[in-house]
């Protein structure tokens, strides 16, 4: 459906999107997950033809967004981070206007607008001025605009940002129902939102794709993995023998060692494969290798931990850059 290949976007010498490649297949809800500044909006603006890329290609249903923008854009409905709403129009006036801009024929416009209102649950506010609506309703109007003309793919940039908890639940429900008839791509910096709504997750950090998987897979991989930290008295045993002893224990995938602050002792961190309880195997491995276990603690890595690990360096970098850029502008 959508194919992004080696997409790069530079603002001056700052790389906002860095050699990003990914595929979007029909019929699923995709999440772009990443901290602020990761490049989610930039990527979405390029996919939807609002922004030119520095390098790389985006094709939608076989049409290159830069070479055949008309044909490519026909397949896409977009709700940008800041929805392009006109506060002094009524909901109906605005949607009719949006339908006209999308080239929906006059004879079909009213019906399309009605359907978009029903789907988005805004029929009861159709005659109200947009400026008098709550933020939750305004976001639904933005979504109605995106689904006008029944595009195959609906792209929503941070659709729940700034909403209160009740509105967030409503908009998430709406997105789930859109997913039944459309391919949906939404972005968020909130892990729980993506894992709740999306079938497939792309984690983006510093403009790069750092993880891509089915949400379920991502959750089991990451939630289940266990780590055991030990402090062992090594005696005459060499570090490489310690690593090898723990490495042979059932269920262990990886072993790291570091010097302990206690003389003659070594700190060991043992990583398990997913969903394995390796405590017993680790303890027995230590005893068999003649190591005295002084301490042993387990740690489960949550999806939140993994997300932070994958993206934390990024967040710091971008904060610095934003500060610099902000300073330059003022
Ligand atoms: P996200 O949507 O993930 O928060 P963005 O795509 O908005 O990230 O931004 C990615 C990076 O590009 C950030 O470091 C941001 O400061 C920078 N950036 C975005 N838009 C511009 C612009 N118009 N000019 C310069 N830098 C920009
Ligand atoms: Mg953004």
Q: What is the pLDDT of residues 107-124, one digit of tens each?
A: 999 999 999 999 999 999
Instruction: Supply the pLDDT for residue 166.
Output: 92
CB of 149 closer than 6 angstroms to any ligand 1 atom: no
- Judged by DSSP in three states, 212 sits in strand
113 and 53 housed in the same domain: yes
Q: Is the domain of 199 the same as that of 234?
A: no
pLDDT at residue 130 is higher than 90: yes
Q: Does the pLDDT at position 329 exceed 60?
A: no
Quote the crossing angle between the two packed helices 135-147 and 91-101, to the nearest 10°.
30
The SS3 call for residue 157 is: coil
User: What is the number of structural domains in the chain?
Assistant: 2
pLDDT in tens, 15-52: 999 999 999 999 999 999 998 999 999 999 999 999 99
Domain boundary among 221, 241, 269: 221
Give the distance (Å) from ligand 2 centre to CA of residue 208. Answer: 15
Same domain, 75 and 112: yes
Question: Would you say residue 168 has pLDDT above 50?
Answer: yes
| Residues that place a CB less than 5 A from ion ligand 2 | 40-41, 81
Q: Looking at the CA of 38, which ligand is closest?
A: 1
User: pTM value?
Assistant: 0.77
**In 3-state terms, what secondary structure has residue 133?**
coil
Q: Is residue 40 domain-shared with residue 115, that is, in the same domain? A: yes
Helix (H) and strand (E) counts in the chain:
11, 14
Domain shared by 110 and 12, yes or no? yes
Beta carbon of 34 within 6 Å of any ligand 1 atom: yes
Q: What is the pLDDT of residue 221?
A: 66
Q: Are residues 257 and 203 in the same domain?
A: no
Q: Is residue 260 part of a domain?
A: yes
Residues 38, 54, single domain; the answer is yes
Q: Is residue 206 domain-shared with residue 275, that is, in the same domain?
A: no
Task: Provide the residue count of the chain.
Answer: 330
Residue 155 lies in a domain: yes
In a domain, 100, yes or no: yes
Which ligand 1 atom sits nearest the alpha carbon of residue 32?
3
Q: How many CB atoms lie within 10 A of CB 87?
A: 11
Q: Which domain holds residue 282?
A: 224-299
* Average pLDDT score over residue span 131-148: 96
């Amino acid at each position: 459906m959508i194919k992004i290949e080696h997409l790069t976007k530079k603002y001056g010498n700052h790389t906002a999107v860095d050699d990003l490649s990914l595929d979007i297949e029909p019929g699923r809800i995709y999440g772009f997950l990443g901290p602020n500044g990761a490049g989610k909006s930039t990527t979405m603006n390029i996919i939807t033809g609002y922004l030119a890329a520095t390098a790389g290609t985006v094709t939608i249903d076989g049409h290159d967004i830069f070479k055949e923008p008309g044909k490519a854009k026909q397949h896409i409905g977009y709700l940008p981070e800041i929805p392009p709403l006109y506060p002094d129009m009524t909901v109906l006036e605005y949607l009719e206007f949006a339908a006209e801009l999308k080239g929906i024929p006059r004879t079909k416009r009213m019906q399309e607008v009605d359907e978009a209102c029903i789907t988005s649950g805004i029929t009861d506010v159709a005659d109200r001025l947009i400026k008098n609506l709550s933020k939750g309703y305004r976001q639904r109007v933005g979504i109605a605009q995106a689904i006008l003309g029944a595009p195959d793919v609906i792209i929503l940039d941070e659709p729940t940002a700034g909403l209160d908890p009740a509105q967030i639940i409503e908009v998430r429900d709406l997105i789930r129902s859109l997913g039944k008839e459309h391919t949906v791509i939404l972005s968020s910096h909130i892990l729980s939102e993506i894992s709740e709504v999306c079938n497939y997750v792309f984690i983006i950090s510093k403009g790069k794709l750092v993880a891509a998987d089915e949400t379920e897979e991502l959750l089991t991989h990451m939630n289940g993995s266990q780590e055991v930290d030990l402090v062992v008295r090594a005696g005459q045993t060499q570090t490489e023998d310690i690593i090898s002893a723990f490495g042979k224990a059932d269920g262990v995938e990886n072993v790291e060692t570091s010097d302990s602050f206690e003389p003659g002792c070594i700190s060991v961190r043992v990583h398990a494969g997913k969903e394995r309880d390796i405590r017993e195997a680790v303890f027995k491995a230590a005893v068999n290798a003649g190591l005295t276990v002084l301490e042993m603690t387990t740690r489960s890595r949550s999806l939140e931990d993994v997300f932070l690990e994958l993206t934390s360096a990024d967040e710091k970098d971008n904060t610095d850059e934003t500060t610099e850029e902000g300073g330059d502008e003022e």
